[in-house]
A and B are shown apart, each in its own frame.
Chain A
Amino acid sequence: MKVVVGQGSCGIATGAKKTSNEFERIVAEKNLTNVVIDKTGCIGTCYLEPIVDVYNEEGALEARYVKCTPDKVAEIVDEHLIGGKPVEKYVIPTEDEAFLSQQQRIVLRNCGKINPEKIEEYLAVGGYEAARKVITSMTPDQVIEEIKVSGLRGRGGAGFPTWFKWNAIKSNKGAQKYMVCNADEGDPGAFMDRSVLEGDPHSLLEGMIIGGFAAGATEGIIYCRAEYPLAIARLEIAMAQAREKGYLGKNLFGTDFSFDIRIKAGAGAFVCGEETALIASLEGERGMPRLKPPFPAAKGYWKLPTNINNVETYANVAWIIANGGQAFADRGAEKSKGSKVFALAGKIKKGGLVEVPMGMTLREVIYNIGGGIKNDKEFKAVQMGGPSGGCIPAQLIDTPVTYEDINKTGAIVGSGGMIVMDEDTCMVDMARFFLDFTRKESCGKCNYCRIGTKRMLEILERITKGEGKDGDIELLEELAGKIKDGAMCGLGQTAPNPVLTTIRYFRNEYEDHIYNHKCTAKSCKALIHYEITDDCKGCGKCARNCPVNAITGEKKQVHKIDPNVCIKCGKCEDNCAFGAVKRV
């Protein structure tokens, strides 16, 4: 039997290592020689970690245990591993099964199934067969044609056709060409790439090898943020194993084609996700974008033809070659083919990674897969595309997730972050949050981005403080338009998007802040205060939890909050068992 403990960053964060150690300890103690303890990457249901899968001798999944803390291990060993009967109470509930069963996995095909540190497991599921097929039996043009048939578009954000990029670098002349993988996943709340790097690093390597063959590149570089230590460690292991097997290095599969990959750890600047800034960083320069053209396909790394794709894009490639471009194109929508991984986060019941065919509606993703909104509150909007994207309001929840349809709303598909917001989220504050992010991450090269975002942020800050002025909304719109027009790179050009979309769909909230000094969602601290209603039973819990002793009251009497002392931390509301504390 095989016990597989999910050990992506999410699993490890919830204590998967301890669970794994506990299994090892008890199994050794009980001398269960037929039990193997193994690990895998993230399966996607991050909210259920740690997850433990038990496979029988034939390799079939017998049971998936969720929230499997070390204290449950002994019981599982006794009843399941020894007794042969799964412990039903710890097994994944059927509604959570649905989270997985409604997905169609290409990129995440091996995540949560294989051990990312063992190349044999990747080979066992057909790994490196696509690379072998390409290198030994196809021409670069055929590869590019296959990718063209698949309709694969860049998964990093812009959605640029992958075949076109590959064709461009192939046609450009240069003493050396480079295949670069952008693994600088920087959007707050996005972790698609990390999951692939940690759970299935070989699929990325294979994609890069195939791309390298098509483009005529001999060197690949993975630009990965240093904040992903586990990903880098597993990539290093995978690369070493691949080199050992002859899938990386000189004369791959006995042909003339040589290709090797190295990792460059980046410091995690958001702007380094922009391709020219990424190249500057690769060259050891400060990560600042430059003007395009020339595009990297003509003059990239060391001014040589360079192709840059994101992790997820590469991870699709081997599957497309193995199954044919048409199989990929059969999935998804007309202009947005295949499937896309999304990171569900925010006020959603089941946060995690999902891979769905493109064209599925937001409602299906959020409600059917994500299980709806936490605490059954009302869905308000979803932020797509991170700080460069925009919000999509509840009335547009039936929008299909395709590049075109999402763009129409003012948001972008982006790298796939989906941050769900409920009625308690203030949209002005949300816009402020994202703009604060881009302002901090602006490299400072061009005026519009460096100063324009700062000025916009100042306006948003004063609005959330109730100090907004008549004309602020128009000023924001004007500045946003100019920044989009004038900023040098994608970071600046898209930075105003969260502001523009929130103004577009939630203008009333902005007006409420400015003219009525009211925060519609009752979230902006400067515009709310706390009150205790007559529902108060006088238990005193709120007073005990108040960090500034602002609450007074006799036992069994209705308590009172002194607004002059209150710091609006909200602890009283969180602690009241009777719902007697209200934000006004």
Chain B
Amino acid sequence: MNKFRLNIDGKEVYGLPGQTILEVCRENDIFIPTLCYDERTEIYGACGLCMVEWEGSPKLWKACATEIAPNMVIRTNTKRVFESRKTNLELLLSNHKGDCRPPCMLACPAGTDCQGYVGLIANGQYEEAIKLIRDNIPLPGAIGRVCPHPCEKACRRGLVDEPIAIANLKRFAADTDEFGEDPFVPECEPDTGKNVAVIGGGPYGISMAYFLRQMGHDVTIYEAMPKLGGMLRYGIPEYRLPKEVLDEEIAVLEKMGITMVTNTKIGEDISFEAIKRDFDAVCVGIGAWVSTGVRCKGEDADGVIGGIDFLRKVVRNEKIDLGKNVAIVGGGNTAMDACRTAVRLGADKVYNIYRRTKDEMPADMIEIEEAEEEGVIFLNLTNPLEIISDENGHCRQMVLQVMELGEPDASGRRAPVPVEGKTETIDVDTVILAIGQRVNAEGIDGVELTRKGGIVYDKDTFMTAIPGVFAGGDCGNDKISIAVESIGDAKKSCLVVDAYLRGEEIKYEPNYYVTKKDVTPANSSMQKREKTTSLRLYSAMMKSRQSKKQTAVWNADVKTTLNVSSSAMQICMM
């Protein structure tokens, strides 16, 4: 059959009579978008996205439906064509009522498909559930236990009674898998011949290694501490996250073929220069391991210790002499962890010093409630003024400024204001300052640092001032946050690093999602329904337990995480 010659975007192409413009374009790698064309069905032609210009015709033509003619001159990339497509999409979106993706997924910094895996678990498809979770989360058991779950805050079910227990369900899926017979190990692409060094084995480093290894790159993690896990291991107490869980998840990384070099600090044991020289790309995730002070008089006394330093010592079984009275300053989860750990270490009186009220505390409510149950004395609306030491330089007393709540500040929270002249004094043997952390980037030579000492990287490419050196997690851009945020950084930047290794430059571009904004709470009678979800969940989990090992781990930590009484547990076990 004689072919027609035609010109598309200045390119001479040929097509058979009867072919449409779209077909010819596809054969010649000329991209024309469409939403309704499918070669298996009759041409529908309703989406109107495949519009093209046909020279000599005043109107636009639908490429999917227009048959080619000899010597046709077609333009697919003119302003008019683009404008038409753009307006068309805008119209579609303007009429779009609903959510492109569920709010839980959008709220998750790592973009976990919560709706997806909750649904799979509901279907009993646990294997599929863990595979879906592991698309985004390499540490599902750990994250399922410790994540402050922004997903649940966004959960629409909360408008009816209480949110779906998304985080606990993740933990359930992970435990079922990891303590089961044959834990899931993601497949890795064939080797690319490129190697990557990941500095820091915390959530960011582990995730980065996990994602890049799956893409076929050779990955080595350098960790200064004896074991991987970062803050999850050295900053979170055992009762919240049994380290056995972490070990199982790190074992998966090993099975994937990731090399782990522990007890090796970059800048001390190996120079950063050598790392840069030996690897095609470097990802820095050294975290924020320095506790910040409160800048009160006497805070350099003996017996004053940083919150994460304290927790790390406990994890490493180092000797700690707390004395009788312990005061923990701060209102976040680290402060709660420190309070509850101090209780467990046998302190007589454990005080929590926080300058606002419990309502303003950033810690999870369950942590606050349980700390209170365990006997922590909350001295809300107080702020350290002075730490008084004895002749040996050891702290003995702490003077507290009494505060009150003033007008709401820029963040919307009511700002604490000192009540003039009103103070309190408490006896202390140990003061734990859990009010903040900062980065110590010593050893990572040549990177640009923020004023606070964080590593500067480009928001879109995650690359630092040094080409080929990327950063993420707590150590970068002064963005000290929760573990899943670090995992999210790795998820977002792994594509950029992969592209870099292939010699391309790309930027991370978030997807555009339409969200429903007019959702209101269900009527109040529904909200008063008994909050039995946790119990039902626990019951389901118990019924499907698979191994003794798993049950043992559960029994160790499930009570605290689920906050169910032992009698309730008994009922559930029946």
Contacts and interface: CB of A to CB of B under 8 A. Distances in A.
A149 B80 CA distance: 41
B422 to A, nearest CB: 55
B60 to A, nearest CB: 5
Contact of B83 (A290, A448, A450, A482): A482
Interface in B79-96: 80, 83-84, 87-88, 91-92, 94-95
Nearest to B81: A485
Main secondary structure of the interface of B (DSSP, over half): mixed
Nearest to B60: A485
A293 B67 contact: yes
Interface stretch (B40-48, B189-197, B330-338): B40-48
Contacts of A454: 95
Contact of A488 (B46, B67, B87, B92): B46
Given A482-B84, A486-B84, A451 B92 contact: yes
A133 interface: no
A239 to B, nearest CB: 35
A116 to B, nearest CB: 42
Given A446-B48, A447-B92, A479 B67 contact: no
Contacts of A482: 83-84, 87-88
A451 to B, nearest CB: 4
Q: How large is the interface on A (under 10, 10 to 19, 20 to 34, 35 or more residues)?
A: 10 to 19
A488 B60 CA distance: 11
Nearest to A458: B94
A447 B88 contact: yes
Contact of A291 (B60, B62, B84, B95): B62
B377 interface: no
Nearest to A450: B95
Contacts of A544: none
Contacts of B65: 291
Interface string A413-448: 000000000000000000000000000000001111
A252 B43 CA distance: 41
Contacts of B60: 485-486
B95 A488 contact: no
A478 B83 CA distance: 10
Contacts of B94: 451, 455
Contact of A448 (B59, B67, B88): B88
A496 interface: no
A451 B95 CA distance: 7
B51 interface: yes
Contacts of A487: 48
Contacts of B43: 291
A455 B91 contact: yes
A201 interface: no
Given A291-B45, A291-B62, A446-B46, A486 B92 contact: no
A293 B62 CA distance: 11
A485 B95 contact: no
Contacts of A452: 87, 91
A447 B91 contact: yes
A448 B48 contact: yes
A479 B43 CA distance: 26
Interface in A261-300: 290-291, 293
Interface in A463-506: 478-479, 482, 485-488
Contact of B45 (A290, A450, A455, A485): A290
Contacts of B95: 450-451, 454
Nearest to A485: B60
A489 to B, nearest CB: 10
A445 to B, nearest CB: 5
Nearest to A453: B91
B51 A486 contact: yes
B276 to A, nearest CB: 52
Contacts of B62: 291
Interface in A291-321: 291, 293
A303 to B, nearest CB: 11
Contacts of A451: 91-92, 94-95
20 contacts: A445-B46, A446-B45, A447-B48, A447-B91, A448-B88, A448-B91, A451-B92, A454-B95, A455-B91, A478-B87, A482-B87, A482-B88, A485-B51, A485-B80, A486-B51, A486-B87, A486-B88, A487-B48, A488-B45, A488-B46
Interface of A: 290-291, 293, 445-448, 450-452, 454-455, 478-479, 482, 485-488
Q: Which 4 A-B pairs have the closest CB atoms?
A: A451-B91, A291-B45, A291-B65, A482-B87
Given A455-B91, A487-B48, 7 more contacts: A290-B45, A291-B45, A446-B48, A448-B48, A451-B92, A482-B87, A485-B51
